[in-house]
Amino acid sequence: EDKVVQSPLSLVVHEGDTVTLNCSYEVTNFRSLLWYKQEKKAPTFLFMLTSSGIEKKSGRLSSILDKKELSSILNITATQTGDSAIYLCAAMGANSKLTFGKGITLSVRP
């Protein structure tokens, strides 16, 4: 059975801190790894990673995939209160089906 595990499950930091969110996966016919940010609504797309070792960057957020270790990390530097959300990791397998982790709840305190 396909599985995605995220850690830690929750995290509290202060504004300006840097955080690293972890994701590991076991998915048959793996195609790509996606990160989403979820506030009080639907997940919004952050990154899609297909190749190992190539960092994707968007502002203060960056992410990288390690296909050998079957894992990915999402880094957020200089955190802001607006970064408070649930961060979901999903692995895409056969039929483009996404298997999600439970999510990491990030709280950024002023």
Partner 1 sequence: GAGVSQSPRYKVAKRGQDVALRCDPISGHVSLFWYQQALGQGPEFLTYFQNEAQLDKSGLPSDRFFAERPEGSVSTLKIQRTQQEDSAVYLCATMKPLSGKISYEQYFGPGTRLTVT
Contacting residues toward partner 1, per CB under 8 A: 4, 31-32, 34, 36, 41-45, 48, 50, 88, 90, 92, 95-103
Q: How many helices (H) and strands (E) does the chain have?
A: 0, 11
- Report the DSSP beta bridge partners of residue 98: 92
Of 79 and 99, the one with the shorter C-beta distance to partner 1 is 99
| Angstrom distance (rounded) from CA 1 to CA 35 | 21
Q: How far is the CB of 47 from partner 1 (least distance, A)?
A: 9
Q: To the nearest whole angstrom, how small is the minimum distance from the Cβ of residue 80 to partner 1? A: 23
Name the minimum Å distance from CB 15 to partner 1.
26
Strand partners, 61: 58, 76
The DSSP output letter for 78 is S
Q: How far is the CB of 89 from partner 1 (least distance, A)?
A: 8
Encoding tokens for residue 61? 């957020």
Please identify, using beta-carbon distances, which residue of 23 and 108 lies nearer to partner 1.
23
Q: Which is nearer to partner 1, 45 or 110 (CB)?
A: 45
- Cβ distance to partner 1 smaller for residue 96 or 110: 96
Reduce the DSSP state of residue 79 to 3 states and report it: coil
The Cα 61–Cα 71 span in angstroms is: 17
